Amino acid sequence: MKTYKKDGKVFITESLEETRRLGENFAKNLKSGEIIALYGELGSGKTTFVQGLAKGLGIKRRIISPTFIIVRSYKAKPSFFYHVDLYRIESAKDIESLGLAETIDNKTNVMAIEWAEKMKGLLPKKRWDVKFEDLKDSRRKIIVNQRL
């Protein structure tokens, strides 16, 4: 895995396993209440990264994308890990009906949100933004920025 700095920390992963491992290592530094907003096209590595996040949070269950059910929760340390996939959501009103604001406000949870751009103004200002780009042949460019 290569790293370099430009408007945040930039990683180039060479395989799905490296993308998972990046997520796992990232999780080891997370604190309760943190939100990870994930951006990128379909197949760019968001779910693979989240699988690593979950492993880094001590979750042993298999992590699959919640595309059709939108939110999956897992018991983690110290409370819960929420994996949200907004791919099928069409409006902010749909998002509000999911009750995500209450989950975000609970400062003991950790939440990863795929397709976070669909939340628009509902995302908290304090969060991690992680952007994914498919470079082909299992290579990914991943840019990590912390917003305070």
- pLDDT tens string 78-104: 689 999 999 988 877 777 778 788 888
Per-residue pLDDT tens digits for 25-37: 999 989 999 999 9
Q: Which of 71, 144, 75 is nearest to 109 (CA)?
A: 75
Confidence at residue 2, expressed as pLDDT on a 0 to 100 scale: 54
pTM: 0.90
Domain boundaries, the chain: 2-147
C-alpha 81/C-alpha 52 separation (Å) is 12
Mean pLDDT of all residues belonging to the chain: 89
Q: What is the pLDDT of residue 127?
A: 94
List of the chain residues with pLDDT < 50 = 6
pLDDT at 95: 79
Mention the CATH class of domain 2-147: alpha beta
Distances (CA, A) of 98 to 27, 67, 72, 85, 89: 25, 14, 12, 12, 10
**Does residue 78 have a cis bond before it (omega within 30 degrees)?**
yes
